Amino acid sequence: MFRRLALPVLALATIATPRIAAAGDPEFVMKLATVAPEGTPWSEALEKFKKQVWAASKERLKVKVYYGATLGDENETVLSTKRGQIQAVGASTGALASVVTELNMVELPFLFKTEAEADTVLDTILQVPMEKYFRAKGLVLGFWSENGYRSFGTKDGFVTSPAKLKGKKMRAQESPVHTAMYKIYGASAQPIPTTEVFQATKTGVVDGWDQTALYAAAASWHKTVKFYTVSNHIYQPAAIVFNAAWFDKLPSDLQAILLGARKDFQAQSRKAVRKLNKAIIKNLEGDGVKVYTLTAAERATFLPGAQKVRQAWKAKQNPEVQALLGQVEKKLGLK
């Protein structure tokens, strides 16, 4: 059931090698690697993308997809892309921020109240500046995708206030704003790669984690906890990103094909995740996990700590990034 419904965070790595093609062979081959298993909406989207690129390139560019993190975890493939060892990656903004640090602002806790707010900020305020920041790190921002809202999965009760996190060992994505969030709420943040979280939770290395319902179900993380608190504390998009040196050497028509998926793919991935989220939540309950959604009053207890995390991160940035976050805060009505 979960394999059919879940759309996990994508981690897409691409290797494209120009060569003298033999008769019937494509001029370029791209290897796509993703942490998503087969049989998910994300794999279906990738298959459509593969066919679209093949047809639009007139069979000059072939996409080969490798599922289930067979070419590496998110952080590994992001770093490999920066180095040019891999030509492209699709990963969560949390993983991409390990290289493009300015992207951490998107991961700040309790930044967005609604998906509409997130879409507006990403597509208008942040699109052009982030393209520049990616370029400065030798990357090209292709287009945004979707992971969704992260929530808390725990073994021993719902997380209805910061006090409920105090003293807990929580798996944190390998990101400074994620670890800062747990610290401000009194938890012990344990940065652990995505591929190791299931075992770490099952064996008691950590007491819980935060993740989208979609990915938690797809990776069977939900089987390691008894409680899932719908806190929606971090909205986490994903992005497809190319190595700039490789991308710039592609023929212009192939560049246009790869970037041309931006509008359709972006809209489709967001729509798919949001449509499936309610169904996934029900399936969690059907699989023995207790689910609770924070009330407005309970959510409010987290906001002072979230503001401190945001202000502390902002203070460490250069004036340009501070000003950009200021634009985001103004748009969202945050102090």
Average pLDDT over residues 239-268: 89
- 208: closest CA among 225, 186, 229, 189? 225
On whether the CB atoms of residues 253 and 316 are closer than 8 A, the answer is no
Predicted local distance difference test score (pLDDT) of residue 289 = 97
Average pLDDT over residues 183-196: 95
Is residue 9 predicted with pLDDT exceeding 50? no
Predicted local distance difference test score (pLDDT) of residue 104 = 97
Q: Report the mean per-residue pLDDT for the chain.
A: 88
On whether the CB atoms of residues 165 and 153 are closer than 8 A, the answer is no
Which of the pair, 235 or 273, is modelled with greater confidence? 235
Q: What is the pTM of this model?
A: 0.87
Tell me the fold of 2-332: D-Maltodextrin-Binding Protein; domain 2 (3.40.190)
Per-residue pLDDT band at 1 (split at 50, 70, 90):
very low
**What 8-state DSSP symbol labels residue 16?**
B
Is residue 160 predicted with pLDDT exceeding 60? yes
Q: What kind and span of H or E run contains 273?
A: helix 262-286
On whether the CB atoms of residues 140 and 210 are closer than 8 A, the answer is no
Domain spans of the chain? 2-332
Is residue 65 predicted with pLDDT exceeding 90? no
Which of the pair, 18 or 206, is modelled with greater confidence? 206
Give the distance, in angstroms, between the CA of residue 271 and the centroid of all CA atoms in the same chain. 15
Predicted local distance difference test score (pLDDT) of residue 285 = 92
Average pLDDT over residues 271-296: 91
- 127: closest CA among 103, 146, 151? 103
Predicted local distance difference test score (pLDDT) of residue 145 = 85
Which residues have a Cβ under 8 Å from the Cβ of 85 and sit 6 or more positions away?
none
- 101: closest CA among 314, 326, 306, 244? 314
Predicted local distance difference test score (pLDDT) of residue 13 = 37
Which of the pair, 196 or 14, is modelled with greater confidence? 196
Which of the pair, 100 or 264, is modelled with greater confidence? 100
Average pLDDT over residues 242-247: 91
Is residue 217 predicted with pLDDT exceeding 50? yes
- Angstrom distance (rounded) from CA 155 to CA 204: 10
Per-residue pLDDT band at 46 (split at 50, 70, 90):
confident
Which of the pair, 91 or 169, is modelled with greater confidence? 169
- Angstrom distance (rounded) from CA 152 to CA 225: 10
